[in-house]
Amino acid sequence: MNHTQQRIELTAALRWASRLGWQSGICNHFSLAVDESEDGPAGILINPQGYQWSELTASSLLLMDQAGKIIDGEGSVERTAFFIHLGIHNAEPLAKCVLHSHPPYTTAIMCTKPGRLVNCHQDSLIFHKRIAYDDNFGGIANSENEGGRIASTLASKPIVLMANHGVSVTGKSVAHALDDFYYLESAAKFQVLAQSTGNPLNIIADEDADRMASGFGTDENQIKGHMDSILRILTREEPDFTN
């Protein structure tokens, strides 16, 4: 099995996301760009079409090249995954990991107008000025043009929230992308629940958010610890994920 550790981490992200209810049937997709090494050729690891994330294993992931050709593994890539992920990986070289899904709370926000995550909770500050918005729903992303259009909306930001659709979170590693995804959905949940009370949101002023946001920035130890804890739990409770 090539790129063993990268496969294990991406599979762990998929299994964990399944536990958190982020998957839609057998749809949605996570990917990770890997470099050529003694462990295997360069390419993009991605989950195969037709499987629940909870049943995936490290060896079941596919490796495709930059043109989308499968170079290792058995199965096929969902058409929308092909265009969304290739579009982002090719447009944003720093986006090593791309997590695309339709999680309930973030997606709910993008089913409203104006469809914006606002600074009403400290988790929101993690994403202050780090989110791009795609307000132009283009239907199912089954063409190179639509994949490229979605990728272009990132404009070098790590996250794009997509109107009438879902979210794509990118990062320099699986750990970074998954940590961001977790806290993004947490922030969205607080916002949706707060709005459900019927009371106005208590939004942090822009000047205060500008001042405080850096305190909620990347903490490498926390990100590594988050991923390590997920790996420990899955190793204990779902040890087959590394197969």
Q: Which amino acid is at 60?
A: S
72 membership: H or E segment, kind and range: strand 70-72
- CATH number (domain holding residue 198): 3.40.225.10
Contact 151, 83 (CB under 8 A): no
Which neighbouring-strand residues pair with 37? Answer: 40
- Tell me, yes or no, if the pTM score tops 0.85: yes
How many independent structural domains does the chain possess? 1
Q: What does the alpha-carbon distance between residue 58 and residue 185 come to, in Å, rounded to a whole number?
A: 25
Q: Is the Cα dihedral 80, 25, 174, 75 positive or negative?
A: negative
Report the pLDDT value the prediction gives residue 142, as an integer from 0 to 100: 80
Please give the DSSP secondary-structure letter assigned to residue 4: H
Report the pLDDT value the prediction gives residue 114, as an integer from 0 to 100: 94
Please give the DSSP secondary-structure letter assigned to residue 37: B
Q: What does the alpha-carbon distance between residue 174 and residue 96 come to, in Å, rounded to a whole number?
A: 8
Residue found by looking up tokens 């599979």 in the block: 11
pLDDT string in tens for the chain (243-residue length): 899 999 999 999 999 999 999 999 999 999 999 999 888 899 999 999 999 999 999 999 999 998 889 999 999 999 889 899 999 999 998 999 999 999 999 999 999 999 999 999 999 999 999 999 999 998 888 888 888 999 999 998 999 999 999 999 999 999 999 999 999 999 999 999 999 999 999 999 999 999 999 888 779 999 999 999 999 999 999 999 999
* Residue range of the domain that includes 185: 4-242
Report the pLDDT value the prediction gives residue 197, as an integer from 0 to 100: 98
